[in-house]
């Protein structure tokens, strides 16, 4: 995880400010048209070309508006936005992740009224609940953006091998552990499952699904750190059992991907970005997707939203709203999603189930399963978003890899679940000044 966005703002990235001032938004393009900039993270040439086609179509239908797309590498996005914010030159429309939207909302750059209205017009009930919850402003029912797409993480497993062994799909704690034991054969370089065991974000992400499925929370009543709760220790203990069937050492997402594609592990925790790799390796038809469940299902993932800053002029705001609504129209929306099938899942149920969306070559390989994967956005959960409450402090906890270190100490260094829970509890309390 990156540092908290507020800290980036306080740092002041003056080197980018001058660059941004030279390329800042202008209310007029010089020919009477309203000019807006659209910032996004789709930097690949083929995706930039698709977006340019969408912009050309929009401009033909709206000749009074000029849209300039600005592709920015994901790793550079925090600095770019912080510099733009510090210079008072925000773009008129941008794609933001959960943490970005929260930071900009807390800085009073994003308001909720316009986004909430657009969501209602599109159809609030059509959005997956998890996608809306991740975009919700703290303490109110409004939204800091319009959820556009998201990826989900769960268990990818070999349906054919499960069937051969007479195993049930890995949808609950009991079945997951049973399958991991059944497939584990380290003498022949075969392993039962791959979960994160390194001191990194991946370990926090994979563990979080088991913890949240057990209703374990990082924050308890009144926002107090609650990492040493019985539910959390129980989840840690289960995760340690699972790790016995993961390859030895500190494993992360690279190992998970490689082990599954090389058929050395029939179960791995990974995001939906694996889908295109599975098609390329002729494994899509034998692969299933499951969400860990004990007391409740829990999908980990990320939501990217379209957001209109309230710092731009009324003319720019109106033009951005038109372009946003254009991008969310069925045909345009599907064209956008198909730039990254599986990685960019629709936040609208109607689109996820539509024949046109599912007609993409990558998605067709999964049949109806492609819609089921997108439906994981319904139960999307993260440690920093619990019971419709947002905990911005989770960003600071994640940036220090406190949970990742706890997982590493427990799975690789063989410390007890209770011991790592207590140590993490104290580290988190110091981090958030409790």
**What contacts 131, CB < 8 A, 6 or more positions away?**
147, 150, 303, 347, 377, 380
Are the C-beta atoms of residues 427 and 400 closer than 8 Å to each other?
yes
Closest CA to 345 of 355, 356, 329, 334: 334
Give pLDDT, residue 27.
52
22 burial via Cβ count (<10 Å: 0-12, 13-18, 19+): exposed
Give phi and psi for 106, each to the nearest 5: -70, -25
pLDDT tens string 76-93 = 888 898 888 888 889 999
- Which residue has better confidence, 391 or 217? 217
Side-chain half-sphere of 127: how many Cα atoms within 13 Å? 27
Q: Is the pLDDT of residue 97 over 80?
A: yes
Of 47-61, 209-223, 339-353, 380-394, minimum mean pLDDT range? 380-394
- What DSSP line would sit under 314-355, residue for residue? HHHHHHHHHHHHHHTSHHHHHHHHTTSTTTSEESBHHHHT-H
Quote the tokens at residue 78.
């925090």
Q: How far apart are CA 205 and CA 380, in angstroms?
A: 12
Q: How confident is the model at residue 10 (pLDDT cuts 50, 70, 90)?
A: very low
pLDDT tens string 328-370 = 999 999 999 999 998 899 999 999 999 999 999 999 998 888 8
Residue-level length of the chain = 434
Of 25-34, 119-128, 325-334, 360-369, minimum mean pLDDT range? 25-34
Q: How far apart are CA 141 and CA 130, in angstroms?
A: 14
Give pLDDT, residue 31.
67
Domains of the chain, CATH where assigned: 5-150+304-371 (3.40.190.10), 152-300+381-431 (3.40.190.10)
User: How distant, in Å, are the alpha carbons of 28, 104, 205, 320 from that of 109?
Assistant: 21, 5, 29, 15
Side-chain half-sphere of 389: how many Cα atoms within 13 Å? 12
**In 10 A of CB 419, how many CB atoms?**
14
- C-alpha gyration radius of the chain: 22
Q: Is the pLDDT of residue 63 over 50?
A: yes
Are the C-beta atoms of residues 269 and 155 closer than 8 Å to each other?
yes
Q: How many angstroms separate the most distant Cα atoms in the chain?
A: 72
Chain mean pLDDT for the chain: 90
Q: How far apart are CA 153 and CA 298, in angstroms?
A: 9
């Amino acid at each position: 995880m990156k540092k908290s966005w507020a800290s980036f703002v306080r740092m002041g990235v003056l080197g980018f400010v001058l660059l941004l001032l030279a390329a800042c938004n202008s209310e007029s393009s010089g020919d009477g048209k309203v000019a807006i900039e659209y910032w996004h993270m789709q930097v690949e040439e083929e995706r930039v070309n698709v977006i340019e086609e969408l912009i050309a179509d929009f401009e033909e239908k709206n000749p009074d508006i000029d849209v300039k797309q600005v592709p920015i590498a994901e790793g550079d996005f925090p600095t770019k936005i912080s510099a733009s914010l510090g210079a008072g030159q925000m773009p008129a429309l941008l794609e933001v992740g959960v943490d970005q939207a929260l930071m900009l909302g807390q800085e009073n750059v994003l308001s909720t009224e316009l986004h909430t209205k657009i969501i209602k017009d599109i159809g609030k009930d059509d959005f997956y609940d998890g996608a809306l919850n991740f975009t919700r402003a703290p303490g109110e029912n409004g939204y800091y953006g319009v959820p556009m797409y998201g990826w989900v993480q769960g268990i990818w497993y070999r349906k054919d091998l499960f069937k051969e062994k007479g195993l049930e799909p890995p949808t609950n704690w009991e079945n997951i552990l049973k399958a991991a034991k059944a497939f584990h054969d380290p003498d022949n370089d075969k392993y039962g499952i791959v979960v994160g065991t390194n001191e990194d974000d991946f370990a926090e992400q994979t563990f979080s699904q088991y913890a949240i499925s057990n209703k374990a929370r990082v924050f308890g009543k009144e926002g107090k750190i609650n990492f040493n709760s019985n539910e959390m220790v129980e989840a840690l203990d289960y995760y340690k059992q699972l790790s016995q069937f993961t390859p030895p050492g500190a494993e992360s997402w690279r190992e998970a991907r490689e082990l599954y594609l090389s058929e050395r592990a029939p179960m791995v925790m990974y995001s939906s970005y694996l889908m295109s790799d599975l098609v390329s390796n002729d494994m899509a038809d034998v692969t299933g997707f499951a969400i860990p469940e004990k007391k409740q299902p829990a999908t980990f993932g990320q939501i990217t939203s379209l957001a209109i800053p309230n710092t731009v002029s009324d003319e720019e705001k109106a033009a951005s709203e038109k372009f946003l609504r254009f991008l969310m129209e069925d045909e345009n929306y599907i064209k956008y999603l198909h730039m990254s099938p599986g990685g960019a899942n629709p936040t609208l149920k109607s689109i996820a189930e539509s024949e046109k969306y599912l007609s993409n070559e990558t998605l067709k390989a999964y049949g109806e399963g492609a819609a089921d994967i997108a439906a994981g956005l319904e139960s999307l959960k993260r440690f920093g978003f619990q019971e419709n409450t947002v905990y911005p402090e989770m960003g600071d906890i994640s940036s220090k890899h406190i949970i990742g270190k706890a997982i590493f100490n427990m799975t690789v260094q063989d410390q007890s679940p209770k011991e790592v829970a207590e140590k993490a509890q104290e580290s988190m309390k110091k981090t958030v000044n409790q």
